[in-house]
C-alpha cells in the first residue's frame, strides 16, 4: 500500500512537471519561431520548434535554474536548426512573415542568396552578422571548434561571393 | 569573360577576409574576372551585415546567457553521475568518476583550443583523455561510442584522435588543429569493410575511407591498432600516412597515404611505396602534392632515409573524398638518385616517357591502366638506371 502511494506521488510529480513545462513552452514558442525562421526558413522552423519541444520536455528535469528556461530552449532550438543540415533537409522559401523584401540601396538578390545557403552556414551567418555573436561564442554554442566556425562562415561568404560574381558576369 | 586560374584563389582569400597578396592584387587590376571578384567581395562586405540584420525579427539573448545554460547542464549531469555511483558504493566506481569527470570537462570545455599538446601522453598507450567538444558532439551525432580517446599525437601534436564504434564498425576520427584550410574532422572507416563507410561529420569535412582490402587485412591481425596521421600544411597541401601501433609500440605496416580533396581546393595526396623497418624504427615517407592546373606538383617530401632507387613507384587513384569521387589515376614516386631525369612507363601497348624533376613525380594517367606498370628510370643519356613494376 505504501508502495502504491509512492507511485502515485511520483506520477503526480511527473504530471505536474510536464504541465509546468507545457505552460512555459507556450510562452516562449513564438519567440523560438521568430528566432529559428531566419535560420532555417519558416516552414522548417515549425519542425524545429516541435523538435525543441520534445527534446526540452524529455530533459526538463535537468534544468535547475528556472530563469534559464528560455535560454535553454533557444540553445536546443539553435542546435536543432543546424541539425537540419545533417538530415539533408534543404531550405524552403521563407513564409509570409519573412518574405524577401528588396532592401533599399542594397543588392536585392543577396537576401535570396543567403536564404539558399545550407542551414548550417546560414545559421552561423545569421548568428554572427545579425545577432552579433563572436565566432568563438558560436563555436561554444554549437559545439564546434573556432576553426570550424571560421571555415563554415568563410564557406558561406564564398558561396555568396561566387554567386554575386557570376551574376555580375 | 575568360577563365582565370587565380580567380578561385582570390575568391577564397576574400571569402576568408584575408588580404590579397601583392601579386594577386596586381593581377586583379588587369584581369577582368578577378577584378569582378574583388568588386563583388567589396559589395558583399558592405551589404552582408545589413541584409542579414534585416532578416531577423527577434533578438537573441546574449551569448553568455545561452552558454551559461550549457555549463549548468553539464554540472547537473556531473551531480547525477556522482550520485549514482555513490549509491552503488563501489570503490572502483570512484575511479570511474574521476575519469568520466575528466572526460566531461573535455566535453564542456573550450575544445581543442584548450588542449595542452605538450603534456599529452603518447598516443596508443593512453586509454582515455579529455574529449574535445567538437569530437564529443560529433560522436553523439553519429550515434557512436568512444572506444578509445588517444588525445594528442606526439608526432603531430596538432592532431587529436579517437577510435569510435558504431554498430560493430570502428573508425578513427581526428581533428587537425590548427587547420588552416578549415578542414573539419576527418574520419577513417575501419572494421567491417563490407559495410557502408562509417559516416559522420559536418558539411564540407573531408572524409576518406580506407581501402577495403587493407582494412580487411589489418582486421585479421592480432591487436591491430593503426593510427592515421594526417595533417594539413596549408590550404592547398596535406600529407598523411599510417603508423601502426602494435602492443604499444609504433611500427609502420603497409604505409599508405590516402587521397583527399579539401573543402576549397583539390589537394595533394601522397603515396608511400616502401618503409624500412629492419632497424626497428619507423620511417615515414610521404609526398606532398599540390594541384596545379591539370597536373600535380610535388611540393615537398618527408621521410626517413631510403637509399633505394626504383622502388618508390606506385599507382594510386587520385582524390577520394566524401561525395566527390574522383576517377583519376596517377603514378607517383620518389627518386633518390640524381642521375634519374625521366621515367618511362609502359601502358596501353606503348612506352610513355615523362621528365622527372625534384626527386619526385606524379604522372596523371589517362585512366585505370592497371597497377603494375613496367617502368624504367632513365638518366640524361636515356640509359636505364633502374627498372621494375609499379605497385598498387
Q: pLDDT tens, B86-102?
A: 322 322 222 222 222 22
Residue A86 has pLDDT above 70, yes or no: no
Residue B188 has pLDDT above 50, yes or no: no
Whether the complex's predicted ipTM is more than 0.85 is answered with no
- Percent of chain B having pLDDT more than 70? 27
Helix (H) or strand (E) holding B329: strand B329-334
Cβ-based contacts of A63 with chain B (< 8 Å): 69, 72-73, 76
Looking at residue A136, what is its pLDDT? 85
Cell 573531408 sits on residue: B206
Cβ-based contacts of A145 with chain B (< 8 Å): 111-113, 132-134, 175, 177
Helix (H) or strand (E) holding B169: strand B169-176
The phi, psi pair for A74, rounded to 5°, reads: -65, -40
Using left for φ > 0, alpha for ψ between -120 and 50, and beta otherwise, residue B181 falls in alpha
Cβ-based contacts of A107 with chain B (< 8 Å): 43, 47, 51
The grid coordinates of residue B345 equal 612507363
Closest CA to B335 of B363, B359, B314, B362: B359
B206-210, B238-242, B243-247 — which is least confidently predicted?
A: B206-210
pLDDT tens digits for range A14-29: 566 677 888 899 888 8
- Residue B201 pLDDT grade (very low, low, confident, very high; cuts 50, 70, 90): very low
The phi, psi pair for B382, rounded to 5°, reads: 85, 5
Mean pLDDT of B149-173: 53
Mean pLDDT of B247-254: 38
Binary contact (A141, B67; C-beta < 8 A)? yes
Binary contact (B48, A127; C-beta < 8 A)? no
Looking at residue B258, what is its pLDDT? 35
Helix (H) or strand (E) holding B320: strand B320-321
CA A128 from chain center: how many Å? 14
In the A/B pair of chains, how many CB contacts fall below 8 A? 192
Looking at residue B83, what is its pLDDT? 31
Tell me the torsion sign for CA atoms B13, B14, B18, B22. Answer: positive
Mean pLDDT of A106-122: 79
Binary contact (B12, A158; C-beta < 8 A)? yes
Q: When comparing pLDDT for A147 and A113, which is higher?
A: A113
pLDDT tens digits for range B34-87: 888 888 888 888 888 888 888 888 888 888 888 777 444 433 333 333 332 232
Inter-CA distances, B265 with A38, B8, B226, B236, B319, Å: 30, 9, 28, 6, 11
Q: When comparing pLDDT for B210 and A143, which is higher?
A: A143
Distance in angstroms (rounded) separating the CA atoms of residues B241 and B249 = 17
- Percent of chain A having pLDDT more than 70? 73
CA B20 from chain center: how many Å? 26
Binary contact (B61, A162; C-beta < 8 A)? no
The phi, psi pair for B16, rounded to 5°, reads: -90, 5
Binary contact (B51, A106; C-beta < 8 A)? yes
Inter-CA distances, B104 with B93, B129, B131, B177, Å: 16, 10, 8, 20
- Percent of chain B having pLDDT more than 90? 0
The residues pairing with B377 across neighbouring beta strands, listed in sequence order, are: B343, B386
**Residues near B54 by beta carbon (within 8 Å), at least 6 away in sequence:** A101, A103, A111
Closest CA to B296 of B260, B269, B273: B269
The grid coordinates of residue A12 equal 503526480
Distance in angstroms (rounded) separating the CA atoms of residues B356 and B52 = 52
Residue B298 has pLDDT above 50, yes or no: no
Inter-CA distances, B66 with A124, A129, B71, B194, Å: 15, 17, 9, 43
Q: For residues A69 and B80, is the Cβ–Cβ distance under 8 A?
A: no
Q: When comparing pLDDT for B44 and B300, which is higher?
A: B44
Amino acid at each position: 500500500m505504501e508502495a502504491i502511494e509512492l507511485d502515485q506521488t511520483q506520477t503526480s510529480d511527473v504530471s505536474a512537471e510536464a504541465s509546468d513545462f507545457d505552460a512555459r513552452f507556450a510562452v516562449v514558442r513564438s519567440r523560438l519561431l521568430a528566432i529559428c525562421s531566419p535560420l532555417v526558413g519558416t516552414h522548417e522552423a515549425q519542425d524545429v520548434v516541435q523538435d525543441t519541444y520534445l527534446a526540452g520536455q524529455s530533459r526538463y528535469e535537468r534544468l535547475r535554474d528556472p530563469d534559464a528556461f528560455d535560454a535553454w530552449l533557444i540553445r536546443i532550438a539553435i542546435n536543432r536548426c543546424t541539425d537540419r543540415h545533417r538530415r539533408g533537409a534543404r531550405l524552403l522559401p521563407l513564409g509570409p512573415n519573412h518574405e524577401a523584401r528588396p532592401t533599399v540601396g542594397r543588392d536585392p538578390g543577396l537576401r535570396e542568396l543567403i536564404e539558399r545557403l545550407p542551414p548550417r552556414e546560414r545559421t552561423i551567418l545569421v548568428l554572427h552578422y545579425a545577432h552579433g555573436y563572436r565566432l568563438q561564442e558560436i563555436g561554444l554554442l554549437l559545439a564546434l571548434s573556432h576553426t570550424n566556425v571560421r571555415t563554415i562562415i568563410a564557406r558561406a561568404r564564398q558561396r555568396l561571393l561566387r554567386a554575386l560574381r557570376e551574376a555580375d558576369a | 569573360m575568360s577563365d582565370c586560374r587565380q580567380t578561385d584563389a582570390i575568391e577564397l582569400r576574400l571569402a576568408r577576409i584575408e588580404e590579397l597578396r601583392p601579386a594577386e592584387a596586381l593581377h586583379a587590376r588587369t584581369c577582368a574576372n578577378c577584378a569582378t571578384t574583388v568588386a563583388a567581395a567589396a559589395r558583399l562586405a558592405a551589404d552582408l551585415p545589413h541584409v542579414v540584420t534585416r532578416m531577423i525579427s527577434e533578438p537573441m539573448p546574449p551569448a553568455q546567457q545561452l552558454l551559461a545554460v550549457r555549463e549548468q547542464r553539464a554540472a547537473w549531469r556531473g551531480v547525477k553521475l556522482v550520485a549514482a555511483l555513490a549509491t552503488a558504493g563501489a570503490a572502483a566506481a570512484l575511479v570511474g568518476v574521476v575519469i568520466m569527470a575528466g572526460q566531461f570537462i573535455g566535453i564542456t570545455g573550450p575544445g581543442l583550443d584548450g588542449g595542452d599538446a605538450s603534456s599529452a601522453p603518447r598516443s596508443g598507450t593512453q586509454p582515455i583523455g579529455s574529449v574535445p567538444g567538437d569530437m564529443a558532439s560529433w560522436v553523439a551525432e553519429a550515434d557512436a561510442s568512444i572506444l578509445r580517446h588517444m588525445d594528442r599525437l606526439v608526432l603531430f601534436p596538432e592532431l587529436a584522435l579517437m577510435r569510435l564504434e558504431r554498430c560493430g564498425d570502428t573508425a578513427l576520427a581526428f581533428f587537425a588543429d590548427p587547420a588552416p584550410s578549415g578542414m573539419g574532422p576527418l574520419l577513417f572507416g575501419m572494421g567491417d569493410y563490407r559495410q557502408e563507410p562509417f559516416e559522420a561529420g559536418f558539411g564540407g569535412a573531408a572524409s576518406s575511407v580506407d581501402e577495403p582490402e587493407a582494412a580487411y587485412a589489418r582486421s585479421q591481425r592480432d591487436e591491430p591498432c593503426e593510427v592515421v596521421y594526417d595533417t594539413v600544411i596549408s590550404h592547398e597541401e596535406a600529407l598523411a600516412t599510417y603508423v601502426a601501433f602494435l602492443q604499444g609500440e609504433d611500427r609502420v605496416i603497409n604505409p599508405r597515404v590516402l587521397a583527399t580533396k579539401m573543402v576549397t581546393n583539390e589537394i595533394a595526396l601522397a603515396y608511400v611505396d616502401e618503409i624500412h623497418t629492419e632497424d626497428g624504427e619507423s620511417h615515414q615517407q610521404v609526398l606532398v602534392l599540390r594541384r596545379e592546373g591539370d597536373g600535380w606538383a610535388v611540393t615537398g617530401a618527408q621521410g626517413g632515409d631510403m637509399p633505394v632507387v626504383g622502388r618508390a613507384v606506385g599507382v594510386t587513384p587520385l582524390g577520394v573524398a566524401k561525395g566527390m569521387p574522383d576517377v583519376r589515376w596517377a603514378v607517383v614516386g620518389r627518386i633518390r638518385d640524381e642521375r634519374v631525369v625521366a621515367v618511362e612507363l609502359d601502358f596501353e601497348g606503348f612506352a610513355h616517357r615523362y621528365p622527372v624533376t625534384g626527386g619526385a613525380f606524379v604522372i596523371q594517367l589517362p585512366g585505370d591502366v592497371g597497377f603494375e606498370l613496367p617502368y624504367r628510370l632513365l638518366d640524361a643519356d636515356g640509359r636505364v638506371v633502374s627498372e621494375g613494376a609499379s605497385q598498387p
